[in-house]
């Protein structure tokens, strides 16, 4: 969420940013919020003046009564009564204006970084760099669920009976592989100096609206009926929420945390052929990383975060590339974002396995996450990135480590988490 003072002083800059995100339907919101803000501040000024006058007159009444000037005192009492009535009339409008301004400000997108490429949607994202050598083997690679089924590692039919589409049972060595990847990712991030955390898997609505846009919320979140609780779509939500309404001493920054959680998502919309199986599902597990830092350090941490994911995938012999998200593909709170995509030998192309985002002070402003320094208080910057998210990550793992005989090679780094096994099959 933008600073209202910034918007008031830079309306054309905010409008140009909206155009860069191809959200022209929001342009009128800038003028509307400026007009509402003007009315709100005028009302506040009048109310403050009336309250100040009331305090001043109240003292005068006492003096007049002491002097026996009852008529003059009565006139001032009637003035106080009129002012009180005016204040009472103003309060509902003040509340309406404040709520509407807040609603609009939460819909106006954050200012994107100047380095972000301008584009309408994800088809215009820009490849940055490739890591590892993409290989297409001489033998045919089956669809990922077929690989799992041949290893007795998945049961989708039973899951449909129990929970419906978008769920799964992982079995045997595939289930073990899933847990091994999560454990390896946890230790990988701990070795890089991050503090391990297991957060709440449900959050309140004020945290939801603090960490994401309304559009994302509607498309992703499951609400617990009858309670002010939502199932998390990613542990980033509750991890950033951990700092809600706090003042952090500057000398304790940065806070670098890595978290494990299950994640729950509605995943609305049509899904193509390549998004069957365990690619786009309602429940999955994830290792995440978040950073809360000083504003001047956020871009440095942004580069460190996506590099962590690249390094982890390379350590498991999975070729990846980084993709700069264009302006139209950025969620409203994001300043800059890079996707990490893994190579699919079967599809002969890359697909997304993680996303790294710098949100500037947008989440901190909504959640009131402030930093105290010698020069005063300011809003922190927040960042998040996927370390690894199986079972989708397993698609890339199985395809890139599949042997012609149907067995799956276990990279050396993962073998201690698989009981020393060099392959499964």
Q: Return the beta strands (E) in 2-136 as ranges.
A: 126-131
Count of CB atoms situated within 10 Å of the CB of 381: 28
Tokens linked to 172: 């045997």
Active site residue 280: yes
Contact present, 381 and 364 (Cβ < 8 Å): yes
Tell me the backbone φ, ψ of residue 136, rounded to 5 degrees. -115, 110
Among 186, 346, 365, 392, the active-site one is 392
Active site residue 19: no
CA distance 310 to 340: 7
Q: Please state whether the peptide bond connecting residue 254 to the residue before it is cis, i.e. omega within 30 degrees of 0.
A: yes
Among 8, 176, 280, 415, the active-site one is 280
* 211 HSE (CA, 13 A, CB side): 27
Tell me the backbone φ, ψ of residue 416, rounded to 5 degrees. -60, -25
Active site residue 352: yes
C-alpha 195, offset from chain centre: 19
Point out which residues pair with 402 in neighbouring strands.
Answer: 408
Residue 154: enclosing H or E segment and its boundaries? strand 154-155
What are the Cα distances from residue 235, in Å, to 5, 80, 287, 290, 338?
A: 32, 54, 8, 9, 19
Point out which residues pair with 127 in neighbouring strands.
Answer: 323
Among 186, 235, 265, 346, the active-site one is 265
CA distance 90 to 41: 12
CA distance 360 to 112: 9
CA distance 369 to 13: 25
Contact present, 232 and 283 (Cβ < 8 Å): no
Active site residue 265: yes
Closest CA to 183 of 100, 308, 285: 285
Among 344, 355, 357, 365, the active-site one is 355
Tokens 């006058």, residue located = 53
Point out which residues pair with 197 in neighbouring strands.
Answer: 259
Tell me the backbone φ, ψ of residue 373, rounded to 5 degrees. -135, 175
Among 352, 372, 373, 409, the active-site one is 352
DSSP state of 54: H
Active centre residues (catalytic): 265, 280, 352, 355, 392
């Amino acid at each position: 969420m933008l600073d209202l003072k910034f918007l008031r002083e830079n309306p054309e800059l905010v409008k140009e940013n909206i155009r860069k995100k191809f959200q022209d339907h929001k342009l009128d919101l800038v003028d509307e919020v400026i007009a509402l803000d003007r009315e709100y501040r005028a009302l506040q000024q009048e109310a403050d003046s009336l309250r100040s006058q009331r305090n001043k007159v109240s003292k005068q009444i006492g003096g007049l009564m002491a002097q026996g000037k009852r008529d003059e005192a009565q006139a001032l009492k009637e003035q106080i009564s009129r002012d009180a009535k005016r204040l009472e009339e103003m309060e509902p409008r003040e509340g309406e204006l404040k709520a509407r301004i807040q609603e609009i400000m939460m819909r106006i997108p954050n200012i994107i970084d100047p380095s972000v490429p301008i584009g309408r949607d994800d088809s215009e994202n820009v490849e940055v760099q490739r890591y590892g050598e993409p290989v297409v083997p001489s033998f045919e690679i089956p669809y990922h669920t077929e690989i799992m089924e041949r290893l007795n590692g998945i049961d989708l039919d039973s899951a449909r009976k129990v929970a419906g589409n978008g769920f799964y049972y992982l079995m045997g060595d595939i289930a073990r592989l899933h847990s091994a990847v999560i454990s390896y990712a946890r230790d990988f991030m701990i070795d890089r100096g991050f503090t391990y955390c297991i957060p709440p898997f449900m959050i309140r609505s004020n945290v939801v609206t603090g960490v994401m846009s309304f559009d994302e919320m509607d498309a992703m979140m499951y609400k617990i009926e009858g309670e002010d609780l939502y199932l998390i779509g990613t542990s980033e939500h509750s991890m950033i929420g951990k700092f809600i309404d706090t003042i952090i001493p500057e000398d304790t920054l940065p806070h670098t945390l890595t978290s494990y959680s299950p994640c729950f998502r509605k995943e609305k919309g049509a899904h193509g052929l390549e998004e069957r199986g365990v690619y786009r599902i309602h429940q999955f597990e994830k290792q995440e990383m978040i950073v809360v830092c000083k504003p001047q350090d956020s871009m440095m941490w942004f580069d460190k975060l996506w590099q962590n994911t690249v390094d982890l995938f390379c350590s498991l012999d999975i070729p990846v590339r980084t993709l700069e998200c264009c302006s139209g593909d950025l969620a409203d709170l994001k300043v800059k974002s890079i996707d990490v995509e893994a190579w699919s030998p079967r599809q002969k192309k890359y697909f997304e396995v993680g996303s790294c985002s710098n949100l500037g002070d947008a989440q901190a402003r909504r959640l009131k996450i402030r930093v105290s320094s010698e020069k005063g208080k300011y809003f922190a910057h927040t960042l998040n990135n996927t370390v690894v998210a199986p079972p989708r990550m397993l698609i890339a793992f199985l395809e890139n480590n599949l042997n012609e005989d149907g067995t799956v090679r276990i990279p050396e780094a993962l073998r201690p988490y698989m009981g020393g096994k060099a392959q499964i099959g």
